[in-house]
Amino acid sequence: MSSPSRGGVFRAETDRRLEQFAESISFDRRLYVQDIAGSIAHAQMLAAVGLVTDDECQQIVAALEEIRHEIEDGRFEFRIELEDIHMHIERSLIDRLGDIGRKLHTGRSRNDQVSTDFRLWIRDAIDRVDSRLIDLQRAFVGRCDAEADVILPAYTHLQRAQPVLAPHYWLAYCEKLQRDRQRLTDCRRRVNVCSLGTAAVAGTSLPIDRADVARRLGFDAVAANSLDVSSDRDFALESAFVLTLIAEHLSTWAEEWILWSTVEFNFIRLPQEFCTGSSIMPQKINPDVLELTRGRAARVVGNLQTLLVLLKGLPLAYNRDLQEDKPALFDSFDTVEACLEIAVPVVAGAVLNREAIDERLDRGYLDATTLMEFFIRQGMPQRTAHHLVGHLVGKATERGVRLADLPLDEFQQAHSGLDESVYEVLGVEKAVEAFVSYGSTAPSEVEKQVAHWKEKLGPSNL
């Protein structure tokens, strides 16, 4: 099928090869809801300022709603020569209404139309991601009561460091996800600015009311500079960055639970409905969902890089390069939403291997730092206490015993003023009870934090 004549300054039809090269309908058709919503608001504004009649506006709105239903029902024909979703909807409107349909584009350009549609789509997508982040936070908080008494080894450099309560561990992820939510909220404010009415690059001489359109579409503000807004994709780039951090946090969680699910750690059993087997090794239960989460983070990072490079050399105002912003950002939102959706049941359904954890909890001298702080409370300088505890750990290691198994005279050789009270901080349970600082794994602090998160997030439906 040949391209329809473009008219105007053009005396030749578009080459079919250019149509195929330049089309975006294959990916931007998903903007149809936003494009129709923006067009309806624009038509209503045109009627309010007298650039179309009320009757013309009603016909335009009715036809746009009809087009929306046809797209939703799969009855709408997409044609590559019409290039993008905006031209598809406009052409269909003109086919139905003739000159009345041609009036819709009054006072706007595809440049500001695309920007507005994209902002509306991102705004909706941000809200979806935020909702999924809340669900994941609730899944972590939902574990806390049942595992309030479980002590886990915390690691630094993948070496056993200090004991922490399991709820303290789960709430650490809630904190990360909360920062993600805060970034989304902050990003959404800059997304939620109305571009429509800036037209191609300089604005319009027609008496349009941009604030009216912004109110109808739920925007918080109106873009103040037509030259800036036609080239602005900061909102897309910022969204991609926030999504990248979310993906990084999910990848960190996935990596940790992959390790925890190995025979070597044996800390956790993943729900089998989210695991796969081996084609040759019948004993395998593979954490594919976590590995894919970790792997797909790479795609989101790559999409951010794509957008950074895409924008780095563009002069002011619209350039066709900006068409390429959508596949990358669409993919990032799709990927992060999918990872969040599947993370929720994995977190909710995983089971800690309490016996395996308890069996090895005394390994690694997790109470060494608490012993050092006990010495400090006796008046010993920190560096001296650090050296002496290291010496005691060395003795315990040589004998293959815990610090709590060393006789009192060994401690008294380290510090003559010690008595049996030293044993009150030895052992992982006593070490945990010794914590007192805000934000620590102290049982009382963890209990407060769990209550805080329950109140903040509300009840879970998991």
Domains along the chain? 16-106 (1.10.275.10), 111-359 (1.20.200.10), 368-455 (1.10.40.30)
Residue 348 scores a pLDDT above 70: yes
What are the two backbone dihedrals, phi and then psi, of residue 223, each rounded to the nearest 5 degrees? -60, 135
Q: Is-catalytic flag, 278? A: yes
More confident residue, 323 or 44: 44
Helix (H, G, I), strand (E, B) or coil at 161: strand
Query: What's the confidence (pLDDT) of residue 153?
Result: 96
Residue 457 scores a pLDDT above 80: yes
Helix (H, G, I), strand (E, B) or coil at 152: strand
Average pLDDT over residues 231-242: 96
Helix (H, G, I), strand (E, B) or coil at 282: coil
Helix (H, G, I), strand (E, B) or coil at 153: strand
Tell which residue, 455, 439, 254, has the closest CA to residue 339: 254
Model-level pTM? Answer: 0.92
- How much is the mean pLDDT over the chain? 93
Query: What's the confidence (pLDDT) of residue 285?
Result: 83
Residue 3 scores a pLDDT above 50: no
Rounded Cα distance between 425 and 419, Å, is 12
What tens digit of pLDDT does each residue of 190-213 get?
999 999 999 999 999 999 999 999
The percent of residues above 70 in pLDDT, for the chain, comes to 97
Answer yes or no: are the C-beta atoms of 347 and 140 closer than 8 Å. yes
What tens digit of pLDDT does each residue of 68-86 get?
999 999 999 999 989 999 9
What tens digit of pLDDT does each residue of 286-329 get?
899 999 999 999 999 999 999 999 999 999 988 898 899 999 99
Query: What's the confidence (pLDDT) of residue 281?
Result: 84
Q: How confident is the model at residue 230 (pLDDT cuts 50, 70, 90)?
A: confident
Query: What's the confidence (pLDDT) of residue 296?
Result: 97
The total of other beta-carbon atoms located within 10 Å of residue 253's CB is 22
Answer yes or no: are the C-beta atoms of 331 and 301 closer than 8 Å. no
Scanning 312-427, the segments in alpha helix (DSSP H) are: 325-349, 354-359, 368-377, 382-399, 408-414
The residues near 338 (Cβ < 8 Å, ≥ 6 apart) are: 296
Geometric angle at alpha carbon 287, from 283 and 291, rounded to 5°: 140
Min mean pLDDT across 30-44, 97-111, 250-264, 312-326 is at 312-326
Both structure tokens of 446: 């963890």
Rounded Cα distance between 36 and 30, Å, is 11
What tens digit of pLDDT does each residue of 7-31 get?
677 677 777 888 788 788 888 999 9
Out of 157, 279, 416, 437, the active site residue is 157
Answer yes or no: are the C-beta atoms of 420 and 455 closer than 8 Å. no
Q: How confident is the model at residue 274 (pLDDT cuts 50, 70, 90)?
A: confident
Q: Is-catalytic flag, 157? A: yes
Both structure tokens of 378: 């006796």
Out of 69, 278, 391, 444, the active site residue is 278
Residue 87 scores a pLDDT above 80: yes
Amino acid at 364: G
Answer yes or no: are the C-beta atoms of 329 and 240 closer than 8 Å. yes
